[in-house]
Every structure is written in C-alpha cells, then in structure tokens.
Amino acid sequence: MKNLPYSAQSPVVLTRRLLSGAVLSAMLAASMPVWAQQAPAAAPAAAGATAPAPTASGAVPVGDVSSVPAPTIAAKAWIVIDVNSGQTLAASNPDMKVEPASLTKIMTAYVVFNALDEKRLTLEQTVPVSEHAWRTGGSRMFIEPRKPVTVDELNQGMIVQSGNDASVALAEAVGGSEAAFASLMNQEAERLGMKNTHFMNATGLPDPQHMTSTRDLATLSSHLITDHPDFFHYYKQKSYTYNKITQPNRNRLLWADPSVDGMKTGHTDSAGYCLVSTAVRGDRRILVVVVGTDSEATRAEESLKLLNWSFQNFDTVKLFDKSQPGIDARVWEGTAENVKLGPPNPVSIAVPRGKAGDLKPVAQRTDPLIAPLAKGQQVGTLQFTLDGKVLRTEPLVVQDAVERAGFFGRMVDTVKRWFQ
C-alpha cells in the first residue's frame, strides 16, 4: 500500500498518532522525579489586558465593617484589640511615635519575667540596692541602700507603685546595669515585631530616643498576658505597702469596673497621661492603649469607653477547630485523590455582633496539588472576609500527608490532566 504524505493522512490516523504522542509524553513525565518536573510557563498576557490585582496582605480593623463606629476619644493616639484573635478593632494614630512614660515598665517586667521563667532569678531572691537605683527620680517605691529587697517586693513596687527605683534595681539584677538591660529590652522589642520602639532606660523617664507606638504597646502587652500568665496577677493588685508606706495602684479602672484586671499607667509632662487597660467578660479579653490624654480621669474614662464599645458590639468566633473539617482539595499523582486543607491551628476571629454568619473563608492556592504533600506544608493562604474586606489571613496547610503514587498511578493522573 502506498504511503500517503503526512498532510494527506486521514484525521483518524492523525488523531491516533497525536494521542499516542501525548500519552508517551505523559508517561515520561510521570516517570521523572518530582524535582526534575517544572510547571509550564505562563501564557503571555493579551495586548491591552490588565494584570490581576495583587492579593491584599493587610487586614482592616474590624470596626471598619461595623455599623456602630468607635467613640470619639480624647487622646493623642489609641488602639483597641481583641486579645483572643489578635485583631485590631479600631485605632487612631497607632504607628505614631510617642513617649511611653511608665508604660515602659511593661517591657521591664516582661524581661524580668523571662528571667524568672528561665530560673535566672527567683521571687525570693534578695537584690542589693545600688546608689543609682536609690537616687533615680520620679515615682518611687522608697527602697534604701544597704537594705536588701526581694524580687517579689520589687515586682510589686514596679508594677503597683510604678517605682522607678524598683525598676532600676530589677534591671541591674538581670542585666548588670541599666544600660545593658535596655539592650535586652530592645532585643525583645525586635523579636516581638515592635517596629516603632526603642528603649533607653528601664523606667520611662524622658529621653529623645526613648519612643514607642500604641500598636507596639498593644503587641507587648498581649504577649505579656499570654507568655507570662503566672505573673499577671501583679497588675490587678490595688495597693502595696513597703517600708511602712502604702501606695495605691494608679489604674482607676480597677475600682470602676470589676472586669478590668490590669495593666499599667504612665505619666510625664511631655507624654501626658497614658494607660494600658485590659478586661475579661465571658471568654473574651479586650486590651486598650491610650496615650497623651490630659488627666488621670480622662485616661480612665476614654479607656472605659473603648472597652465597653468593644464588648458590646463585637463577638469572637472560633473556626477550624476539631469539630470543623478542613477544605477538600484534589490531589494528583498521590496515594489519595483528596486532601484536607486548613489553617495550622484553630482560628479565633472578631466580627461585628450578629455578623458571624456572613464571614467567608476564601482559599487561595496554586493548583494543581501534586504529591508528595507533607503534613503542615503550606500550599496557599486562607483569607477571612466580611462585606468584601479582609479581616484576617492565615496560611493554608496540608492537614494529612499524601505519599507519591506508583508509576502507573502517576501515569493515569497525568493523562487525566492532559484532557481536563
């Protein structure tokens, strides 16, 4: 039989040859090791087409999707966060650099609590009082040279009485000197992601280079609450007596609202009146930072306004716990056809009250998913949106490992993908 030229072959013969070539290519691809396979290059964009908008990585404050706006607050800067979820509910000038005054002592305490947890200090340990600590000005615990004082007493003097002398004595006990301790404070600030913070001392006494922001203070305070729960009780103590001198806690909210259990006041002429406050109602914890108010009464009143607004107008919902399955996704070339995807841990999300049912999880991942897949391997992101706005973004990870299939299993899946 005379061979026909290629262009004259019947459509059936041509189709069979093309199909055979495709299957052969698929078989070769399936036999290649995973590291040798490459994803096909993306097709060039059509002329005049616009590129898709990049995915927003930042989340909006939850208050932006609430029908009840945050109250007007008489402060230079402020922020309110839902501690359970870590989300900002509302803020004004949260990244403005401000003087922390005695709110500095939250970081002083955090570093001291680290040392206690690491057994470099004990609460019963006595600490010598240096001339430098004794002579430190401002608010005082009234410690004295040649009269040793315990770490537990100094903690109460620093936190309840806001004693600068106690802060310096603790700094010297941990760091050897106040300057060395300030370096430890800055190391912790960097580790915690406090981008607008720099400490020069352990007390908060004014220094041109001693600065922070309300967002950074909220980050620090939340970490102290969660990282050092065994020491948080100091912050709700209403008074402390040392050297026969009783001083009250300057946080007026401890008397005004029984749900308030901390945290710290601050004041200098240049910083104004500042307050970090936190409260628990039910299973929710809210934290408020206000700086630069005009009086002790104002900082308490404005903080309470934000606490009440937050508890009254928002809920915290839990998603992807053990009772909620992950998202099903197709797997290719694996020993299983499907895999569960979800965030690495259960997620708490703050939402406006009554809006939990409108919350939408949106998975964004690179398809196809090709085995092997390791448990915990990130394959995309999971955005939680409400009214079209992103409230939170979490990694999207594989919940159960999927091994690579054998040669024929991979070949079958590769052929299937050719005809999708």
| 151-182 per-residue burial string, b: 16 or more CB within 10 A, e: under 16 | bebbbbbbbbbbbbbbbbbbbbbbbeebeebb
Beta-ladder partners of 267: 273
What CATH number has the domain spanning 62-314? 3.40.710.10
pLDDT value of position 218:
98
Close Cβ partners of 85 (under 8 Å, ≥ 6 residues apart): 316, 347, 348, 349, 350, 392
Beta-ladder partners of 389: 386
Q: What is the pLDDT of residues 75-104, one digit of tens each?
A: 999 999 999 999 999 999 999 999 999 999
Contact 162, 265 (CB under 8 A): yes
pLDDT value of position 20:
37
Residue 162 bears catalytic tag:
yes
pLDDT value of position 246:
98
pLDDT value of position 411:
78
Residue 193: count of CB within 10 angstroms of its CB = 12
- Of the candidates 256, 292, 252, which has an alpha carbon nearest to the alpha carbon of residue 272? 292
Residue in 66, 76, 85, 102 annotated catalytic: 102
pLDDT value of position 199:
98
Q: What is the pLDDT of residues 183-240, one digit of tens each?
A: 999 999 999 999 999 999 999 999 999 999 999 999 999 999 999 999 999 999 999 9
**pLDDT tier, 324 (very low <50, low <70, confident <90, very high otherwise):** confident
Q: How far apart are CA 285 and CA 278, in angstroms?
A: 7
3-state secondary structure of 303: helix
Q: How far apart are CA 331 and CA 317, in angstroms?
A: 30
Q: What are phi and psi of 19, to 5 degrees?
A: -65, -40
Parallel/antiparallel/unpaired status of strands 327-332 and 369-370: parallel
One CATH from 1.10.287.3510, 3.40.109.10, 2.60.410.10, 3.40.50.1110 for 320-418: 2.60.410.10
Q: How far apart are CA 411 and CA 27, in angstroms?
A: 5
Q: How far is CA 61 from CA 53, 68, 221, 317, 352, in A?
A: 21, 13, 19, 16, 11
Residue in 105, 221, 277, 305 annotated catalytic: 105
Instruction: Using CA atoms of 332, 333, 337, 342 in order, give the dihedral in degrees to the nearest 10.
Output: -60
Residue 130 bears catalytic tag:
no
Both tokens of 86, joined, read 């870590």
Q: How far apart are CA 202 and CA 196, in angstroms?
A: 17
Q: What is the pLDDT of residues 327-346, one digit of tens each?
A: 899 998 889 999 999 999 99
Q: How far apart are CA 179 and CA 201, in angstroms?
A: 7
3-state secondary structure of 185: helix
pLDDT value of position 17:
38
Contact 185, 108 (CB under 8 A): yes
List, by residue range, all CATH 2.60.410.10 domains of the chain. Answer: 320-418
Q: How far apart are CA 217 and CA 320, in angstroms?
A: 29
Q: What is the pLDDT of residues 132-180, one digit of tens each?
A: 999 999 999 999 998 999 999 999 999 999 999 999 999 999 999 999 9
Share of the chain above pLDDT 90, in %: 76
Q: Write down how long the chain is.
A: 420
Residue in 162, 213, 221, 303 annotated catalytic: 162
Q: What is the pLDDT of residues 25-52, one digit of tens each?
A: 333 333 333 322 223 322 222 223 222 2
First to last CA, the chain: 38
Residue-averaged pLDDT of the chain: 86
Q: Where are the beta strands (DSSP E) in 65-205?
A: 77-82, 87-92, 126-127, 149-150
Q: How far apart are CA 190 and CA 202, in angstroms?
A: 16
Close Cβ partners of 118 (under 8 Å, ≥ 6 residues apart): none
Both tokens of 364, joined, read 């964004």
List, by residue range, all CATH 3.40.710.10 domains of the chain. Answer: 62-314
Contact 216, 195 (CB under 8 A): yes
Q: How far apart are CA 333 and CA 416, in angstroms?
A: 10
3-state secondary structure of 376: coil
pLDDT value of position 414:
76
Q: How far is CA 376 from CA 133, 322, 335, 340, in A?
A: 50, 16, 17, 11
Q: How far apart are CA 417 and CA 420, in angstroms?
A: 5
**pLDDT tier, 412 (very low <50, low <70, confident <90, very high otherwise):** low
Cis (ω within 30 of 0) for the bond into 145? no
Higher pLDDT, 197 or 20: 197
Total-model pTM: 0.83
Q: Helices 407-418 and 11-31, interaxial angle, to 10°? A: 130
pLDDT value of position 232:
98
3-state secondary structure of 24: helix
pLDDT value of position 406:
84
Q: What is the pLDDT of residues 271-301, one digit of tens each?
A: 999 999 999 999 999 999 999 999 999 999 9
